[in-house]
Amino acid sequence: MPRDLLVLSTTAPSLVDFVNAGASVDPELRVRSLDGDAVVEVVDDHGTAHVSVQHPERVDNQEEVRRLAPWTTLRAPLWWTEAWAPWGAHGEVGVAIVRALAAEVDGELLVEDGS
């Protein structure tokens, strides 16, 4: 089971933001899309995914935000971006990429890793 990551932001993360985040962590990695661009992954030369990121969704209901992400200081409307990183070294790179993505869009990040 991968680690779940959640980025909340007031602007929608773009593919360019995601590519910039990945390049800031490891410029040798590349991006591929799955399911008609519903999910974008950062992979190495062997095709091993370091992180998978779902297309951002806009959330307009503040009560939903409060219920699902009580830790956030952001208010609706906001963008909800889910990501998944494997355990181990590949996943650590993936978490670093999502941290960089959150910083790129001035967002907040929650890493659910069981700790």
Cβ atoms < 10 Å from Cβ of 17: 22
What's the pLDDT at 108?
97
What's the pLDDT at 25?
95
- Domain enclosing residue 33, as ranges: 3-112
Mean pLDDT value across the chain: 93
Instruction: Tell me the CA distances in angstroms from 50 to 47, 53, 86, 99, 112, one per residue in order.
Output: 9, 10, 7, 13, 16
Domain CATH for 45: 3.30.70
pTM for the whole structure: 0.92
**Mean pLDDT over residues 49-70, rounded?**
95
Contact, 18 vs 10, CB < 8 A? no
Q: For residue 69, which amino acid is it? A: A
What's the pLDDT at 2?
87
Count of structural domains within the chain:
1
CA distance 50 to 84: 9
The string of pLDDT tens digits covering residues 68-101 is 999 999 999 999 999 999 999 999 999 999 999 9
Contact, 67 vs 54, CB < 8 A? no
